[in-house]
């Protein structure tokens, strides 16, 4: 263990820049929204583009051009990720979890903590490119680009453990991804596409393991999420809270410190809704995550949903809370609820 920790300290790079005042978000020209779509239909993610975005991720913002450099890196990512959706992915035959849309954008106070490139002895070993905004509580996707040829990586097992930097809370981001077929378009690197989702905003240290041996680490800053209460809707005679046709539960309301039963309803590919179920929660204005509920397995279809779980949940204090649900350590989605004070 001491040897592993020593290696991490020697090999890890932390591109920190003293905090500076920044306007946030930076003003965008009218054509900015058009970057969410590929500029050329059918265009590919060339090695040259890969090198360009990796270089942008590696360089820390410094000096008077810091804000400009951050904005350009985000704009390049906005073009890159929609194009990457059209390619076969190593590890997944396709990459359905990668989204187009807004460029990656972290909270401004935490920008200097972001470190998407892992280096060893001055040599780049891995670049991590989250899709979307890496928004807290939302399922996105990510490219994991290893600087090793596919024939050396095929069949290896990728696992990623996440640690919330400010609180020390730990979770498994990726439990076990088998790196699959090689992509002949990239003979010198291995690209792995996976789901990606962190439950709370702010900096997270991601420790990457290959075949259960520590490989390296990066720091990803989960972007801020909205705190509007999730909508209510009717499902037959049931009053539900959540996201229709994705994730919701029968909602009898929440009272601080009092447990109640809630039946979760999940929609999606039945194969992706198998395995242990877990719910974590974070209160608005706080960073500490708490475990709310765990189940060994997800139940069957009910009320038109593809899967279900009967849970008993309790939140400790009044206020607004975000509940984030996982199946087999894969983030499914989040529901924001209001918790009332106990009546006396």
Q: Sheet containing 247-250: which strands, arranged edge to edge?
A: 232-235, 238-243, 247-250, 260-266, 307-313
Structural domains of the chain, count:
2
Residue (of 325, 307, 310) closest to 269 by Cα position: 307
The range of the structural domain enclosing residue 184 comes to 2-222
- Assess contact for 212 and 277: CB atoms under 8 A: no
Boundary of a domain, candidates 222, 248, 266: 222
Residue with the larger pLDDT of the pair 308 and 30: 308
User: Is 145 within the bounds of a domain?
Assistant: yes
pLDDT of residue 224: 87
- Please provide the average confidence, as pLDDT, over all residues in the chain: 77
User: Is 101 within the bounds of a domain?
Assistant: yes
- Assess contact for 224 and 136: CB atoms under 8 A: yes
pLDDT of residue 185: 84
Boundary of a domain, candidates 194, 222, 250: 222
Whole-model pTM above 0.85? no
Compute CA distances 219 → 58, 118, 165, whole Å.
12, 9, 9
Q: Sheet containing 190-196: which strands, arranged edge to edge?
A: 117-120, 123-130, 140-146, 190-196
Backbone phi, then psi, for 33, in 5-degree steps?
-65, -25
Residue (of 228, 52, 202, 189) closest to 114 by Cα position: 202
Best mean pLDDT range from 70-84, 172-186, 249-263: 249-263
Provide the pLDDT confidence category of residue 182 given band limits of 50, 70 and 90. Answer: low
pLDDT of residue 56: 44
pLDDT of residue 211: 98
Same domain, 138 and 204: yes
How does pLDDT run across 218-256, given as a tens digit for each residue? 999 998 888 999 999 999 889 999 999 999 999 999 999
The 10 Å Cβ neighbour count of residue 25 is 11
pLDDT of residue 186: 85
Mean pLDDT of 61-82: 43
Residue (of 9, 4, 179) closest to 90 by Cα position: 179
Distance between CA atoms of residues 18 and 62, nearest Å: 9
């Amino acid at each position: 263990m001491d040897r592993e920790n020593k290696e991490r300290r020697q090999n890890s790079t932390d591109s920190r820049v003293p905090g500076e005042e920044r306007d946030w978000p930076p003003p965008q020209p009218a054509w900015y929204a058009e970057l969410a779509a590929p500029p050329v239909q059918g265009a590919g993610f060339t090695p040259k583009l890969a090198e360009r975005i990796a270089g942008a991720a590696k360089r820390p913002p410094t000096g008077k051009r810091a804000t400009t450099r951050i904005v350009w890196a985000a704009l390049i990512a906005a073009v890159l990720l929609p194009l990457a959706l059209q390619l076969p992915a190593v590890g997944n035959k396709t990459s359905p979890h990668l989204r187009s849309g807004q460029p990656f954008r972290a909270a401004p106070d935490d920008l200097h903590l972001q470190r998407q490139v892992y280096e060893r002895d001055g040599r780049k070993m891995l670049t991590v490119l989250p899709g979307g905004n890496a928004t807290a509580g939302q399922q996105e996707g990510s490219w994991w680009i290893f600087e090793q040829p596919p024939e050396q990586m095929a069949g290896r097992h990728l696992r990623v453990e996440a640690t919330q930097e400010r609180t020390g809370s730990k979770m498994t981001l990726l439990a076990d991804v088998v790196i699959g077929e090689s992509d002949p378009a990239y003979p010198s690197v291995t690209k792995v596409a996976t789901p990606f989702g962190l439950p709370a905003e702010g900096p997270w240290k991601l420790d990457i393991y290959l075949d259960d041996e520590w490989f390296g680490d990066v720091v990803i800053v989960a972007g801020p999420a909205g705190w509007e209460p999730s909508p209510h809707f009717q499902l037959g005679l049931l009053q539900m809270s959540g996201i229709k046709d994705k994730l919701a539960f029968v909602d009898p309301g929440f009272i601080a410190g009092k447990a109640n039963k809630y039946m979760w309803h999940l929609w999606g590919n039945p194969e992706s809704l198998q395995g242990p179920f877990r719910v974590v929660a974070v209160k608005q204005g706080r960073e500490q995550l708490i475990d709310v509920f765990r189940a060994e397995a997800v139940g069957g279809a009910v009320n038109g949903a593809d899967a279900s779980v009967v849970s008993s949940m309790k939140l400790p204090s009044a206020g607004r809370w975000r509940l984030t649900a996982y199946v087999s350590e894969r983030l499914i989605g989040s529901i924001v609820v209001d918790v009332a004070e106990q009546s006396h």
